[in-house]
Chains A and B, each alone.
Chain A
Amino acid sequence: MGSRLVDRVLLAAVLLTPLLMSIDYLAKIMLTPFVILGCISLLSTYLPARYQNIVIPLIYLPAITSLVILVLERRPYFLIDLAGGYLISIPFIAMIGIVKSTSPRASVLSYVTSLTSTYFIWAVAAQARGEGSHLFLALVNMFVDRQAWERVQPPQYFAALAALSSIALVIYSWRVYGSTLVREQGEVFIYSATAASLAVALTVLYSLVFTDSVALGLIVAATLTIAATLRAGVKRGWGRA
């Protein structure tokens, strides 16, 4: 019972950063009915099988309605709002992916996707607020105007939250997917987590003095990855398995 509670707390800590950033960008944008409908319609695909008869109208009705309005009344904003709704649902879909994942890889990739997409939408939402435009139009503008990405900078507490979530993620992966040997072979996990934390700390310290910390980080990560691959070895033909 206690173990399950700890797992849930860890999962909540993993979801904390993308969730807080999502709340932050939801507060920045103007939530119209079609934005909400777009968000709900994509998220509804994760409903259990017995609700399938609700999912189909939830997806098609807003889409057809906005298309009909665009064609008959020549008003595109409903369709744009719907597209914005689809856009803001992406981080939530990634967060659902973390909860539903069944392997460390799925869990880690869902986490990285959720973090990146949340930042992406947050930046678009911040730009949309500044311009007073629709979310989707702001996204198009940001793609056209590359400098717009530099104008929006997320608050510093996101970095602390991301660090907390990342640590929570590796502990969560170890506890949930680490079979029943996690206690007996715990030292491997502790050494790895400590080494990774030290590498991050060194890179951050390096960045205070030099400007090429990203290159250093890439070199360290690449070296370790290649060393792990060579040391452990890759079975010939595993890709076909």
Chain B
Amino acid sequence: MLTREAALLLISLSGWTLFVSILLYQPFLFLASFFLQTFFATYILLASRRLRSLDVEGLKVERTVEPQRVGDKTLLKVRLHVWFDSEQRLFVRVVDKPPFGTRIVERPSNPEGIIGAGESLESSYTLEVDPSISLARFRKVILLIHDPLKLCYDARELEVASDIIVPVGEQLVGAAYTKLPAPWIRPPMGLGYRGLVGYDDEFSGIKPYELGDRVRDIHWIRYAQQVDEEELVAKKYVKKGEVTLHIVVDCSSSINTGENAALLTDISILIRRLCQTAEEEGNPVQFWLLNPSLSLDEKISPRRVFSRIAIEQYIARVFPSQGREEEQVVEEFSRTLTGSSMVVFVVNPPSQNTGIVEAMINACRMVGARYIICVPDVASYVSRLEGEVSRLLQLDRQFKDDWLSRFSEPGSVIEIGKGYAIDVVKEAMRRGVEWGLG
């Protein structure tokens, strides 16, 4: 490709040669202009040919993204490291496409330079993330390989995919709550009975005001009566027929399955879609993350998690961890669970927390709550199915079958195949509703 500089140079020289030859003809002026135009045109021809024939197999790009919080803004500091595993040197310009939902606030520093023969290029820029975005998905990096005079270039695209879950600070969560329009968290009214939908709210008492409660639900009269305690009090409502969706995720090391954490990605998609479906139906979601690395407050969410940002915050906490979960989670789970609850277990047995999951399933059975167990089809996440891997997969399958056979309720087990998480959600919800009707 011609650069802007080269195109303007050729246009200007052509115009000048025409002007000199037609209006102000002087042989020496004409020949000088002719020489320059011929030189630059030939140079561009030869240089572009050379650039096309370059072997750039050794071109490598590494991207690191560092999230930062500045005031109420979420910024991503992106660093690109470009190098060329060759003795040959190239002059390159790095162009990174900002992901959806971000905008550049600080232009790339040092985006061009020499690479190769031990030299590398470090470029960095800053993006501001839209508050509604919680996942920044970076894709290709374009390298423009220039000739020495930078009159033409050859563009090479390198796939450098990186998905960044944007961490959300408490301030932003609070801000997002206050921005929500009131009807958004209400269930649809007057639509008749639907599997997961209630009819109306009923006042059931008071409770301490929590982050996320609507301001209109503050019980001002009661607050005025107990103003000495300086604690806000909110009205508590229960929906007739409301179904709380409990999402239990076993964050043991066994969820780290597949290339590029493919199972983790599918679990994220599954959770996101489950939350979306629950939100559409106007039902609350509660998270139970069996992750010993987290504190109790971090692993058990409040009953109502309806903010997309808060959901992403919990999804970000789904990561493989070592150790066994405490029994306290089961106790808390049993206390919270009601007959109208629906529980989705995401688990990859065998794991250190299989016993805990089993206890939670038993709690569901005791109160009569519906539950769906989502287990991955590990074979779909493994690319080579031969030798020792094949035998291990057989063992895994055998264990899973044995373990799942203990839960004989119809339709309580769903397999997650690689890349089919969205279909699983539809199936889970359908089975949940059918169960409810049954």
- Output the least CB separation between B44 and chain A (Å): 4
- Alpha-carbon distance between A182 and B149 when the two chains are bound, in angstroms: 9
- Output the least CB separation between A22 and chain B (Å): 15
- CB of B43 within 8 A of CB of A192, answer yes
- Alpha-carbon distance between A237 and B184 when the two chains are bound, in angstroms: 42
Fill in one digit per residue for B35-48: 1 if any A CB lies within 8 Å of its CB, else 0: 11111111111111
B13 interfacial contact with A, CB 8 Å: yes
- CB of B38 within 8 A of CB of A233, answer no
- CB of B4 within 8 A of CB of A238, answer yes
Say which one of A2-10, A59-67, A83-91, A163-171 lies at the interface with B.
Answer: A163-171
Query: Which residues of A lie under 8 Å from residue B21 when comparing CB positions?
Result: 214, 217-218
B151 contacts which of A104, A120, A166, A214 (Cβ < 8 Å)? A104
Query: Which residues of B lie under 8 Å from residue A233 when comparing CB positions?
Result: 1-2, 48
Interface size class of A (residues with CB under 8 A): 35 or more
A20 interfacial contact with B, CB 8 Å: no
Fill in one digit per residue for B148-161: 1 if any A CB lies within 8 Å of its CB, else 0: 11111000000000
* Residue of A120, A185, A232 with most chain B CB atoms under a 10 A cut-off: A232
A151 interfacial contact with B, CB 8 Å: no
A44 interfacial contact with B, CB 8 Å: no
Fill in one digit per residue for B118-156: 1 if any A CB lies within 8 Å of its CB, else 0: 000000000000000000000000000011111110000
A49 interfacial contact with B, CB 8 Å: no
A133 interfacial contact with B, CB 8 Å: no
B399 interfacial contact with A, CB 8 Å: no
- Alpha-carbon distance between A46 and B132 when the two chains are bound, in angstroms: 52
Say which one of A28-36, A92-100, A107-115, A124-132 lies at the interface with B.
Answer: A107-115
A116 contacts which of B3, B6, B20 (Cβ < 8 Å)? B20
Interface size class of B (residues with CB under 8 A): 35 or more
B50 interfacial contact with A, CB 8 Å: yes
Say which one of B22-30, B163-171, B296-304, B342-350 lies at the interface with A.
Answer: B22-30
Query: Would A181 and B42 be within 8 Å (CB), given that A115-B29, A221-B14, A232-B1 are in contact?
Result: no
- Output the least CB separation between B309 and chain A (Å): 35
B91 interfacial contact with A, CB 8 Å: yes
- Alpha-carbon distance between A137 and B151 when the two chains are bound, in angstroms: 43
- CB of B31 within 8 A of CB of A162, answer yes
Query: Which residues of A lie under 8 Å from residue B393 when comparing CB positions?
Result: none
A204 interfacial contact with B, CB 8 Å: yes
Query: Would A204 and B45 be within 8 Å (CB), given that A188-B147, A238-B7 are in contact?
Result: no
Fill in one digit per residue for A156-190: 1 if any B CB lies within 8 Å of its CB, else 0: 00110011011101100110011111101100110
- Output the least CB separation between B108 and chain A (Å): 15
- Alpha-carbon distance between A177 and B5 when the two chains are bound, in angstroms: 12
Say which one of A50-58, A71-79, A223-231 lies at the interface with B.
Answer: A223-231
- CB of A231 within 8 A of CB of B38, answer no
- CB of A225 within 8 A of CB of B10, answer yes
A112 contacts which of B5, B16, B28 (Cβ < 8 Å)? B16
A234 contacts which of B1, B16, B28, B49 (Cβ < 8 Å)? B1
Query: Would A182 and B148 be within 8 Å (CB), given that A162-B29, A191-B46, A200-B31 are in contact?
Result: yes
- CB of B42 within 8 A of CB of A163, answer no
| CB closest chain-B residue, reference A239 | B4
| CB closest chain-B residue, reference A199 | B38
Query: Which residues of B lie under 8 Å from residue A182 when comparing CB positions?
Result: 148
- Output the least CB separation between B151 and chain A (Å): 7
- Alpha-carbon distance between A238 and B6 when the two chains are bound, in angstroms: 11
- CB of B49 within 8 A of CB of A116, answer no
A203 interfacial contact with B, CB 8 Å: yes
Query: Which residues of B lie under 8 Å from residue A116 when comparing CB positions?
Result: 16, 20, 24, 29
Query: Would A231 and B49 be within 8 Å (CB), given that A154-B28, A218-B17 are in contact?
Result: yes
- CB of B31 within 8 A of CB of A120, answer no
Query: Which residues of B lie under 8 Å from residue A231 when comparing CB positions?
Result: 44-45, 48-49
| CB closest chain-B residue, reference A215 | B21
Query: Which residues of B lie under 8 Å from residue A238 when comparing CB positions?
Result: 2-4, 7
- CB of A224 within 8 A of CB of B38, answer yes
Query: Would A103 and B36 be within 8 Å (CB), given that A181-B91, A232-B152 are in contact?
Result: no
Query: Which residues of A lie under 8 Å from residue B29 when comparing CB positions?
Result: 115-116, 119, 162
Query: Which residues of A lie under 8 Å from residue B41 when comparing CB positions?
Result: 221, 224-225, 227-228
- Alpha-carbon distance between A222 and B33 when the two chains are bound, in angstroms: 12
Query: Which residues of B lie under 8 Å from residue A218 when comparing CB positions?
Result: 17-18, 21
Query: Would A225 and B35 be within 8 Å (CB), given that A159-B27, A179-B91 are in contact?
Result: no
* Residue of A158, A163, A195, A196 with most chain B CB atoms under a 10 A cut-off: A196
Query: Would A188 and B50 be within 8 Å (CB), given that A104-B149, A166-B36, A182-B148 are in contact?
Result: yes
- Alpha-carbon distance between A108 and B33 when the two chains are bound, in angstroms: 9
| CB closest chain-A residue, reference B8 | A105
- CB of A200 within 8 A of CB of B147, answer no
- CB of A217 within 8 A of CB of B39, answer no
- CB of B32 within 8 A of CB of A170, answer no
Query: Which residues of B lie under 8 Å from residue A200 when comparing CB positions?
Result: 31, 34-35, 38
B12 contacts which of A109, A115, A170, A188 (Cβ < 8 Å)? A109
- Alpha-carbon distance between A68 and B321 when the two chains are bound, in angstroms: 90
Query: Which residues of A lie under 8 Å from residue B28 when comparing CB positions?
Result: 154, 158-159, 162-163
- Output the least CB separation between A190 and chain B (Å): 10
- Alpha-carbon distance between A166 and B40 when the two chains are bound, in angstroms: 12
B114 interfacial contact with A, CB 8 Å: yes
| CB closest chain-B residue, reference A233 | B1
- CB of A104 within 8 A of CB of B48, answer no
A204 contacts which of B18, B31, B32 (Cβ < 8 Å)? B31
A23 interfacial contact with B, CB 8 Å: no
B414 interfacial contact with A, CB 8 Å: no
- Alpha-carbon distance between A170 and B149 when the two chains are bound, in angstroms: 11
- Alpha-carbon distance between A195 and B35 when the two chains are bound, in angstroms: 9
- CB of B31 within 8 A of CB of A159, answer yes
- CB of B1 within 8 A of CB of A104, answer no
Q: Give 11 CB contacts A-B under 8 Å.
A: A116-B16, A116-B20, A177-B150, A178-B148, A179-B149, A188-B43, A200-B34, A203-B34, A217-B21, A233-B2, A235-B1
List 7 tightest A-B contacts by C-beta distance, closest first: A196-B39, A224-B41, A159-B28, A192-B43, A178-B148, A232-B48, A228-B44
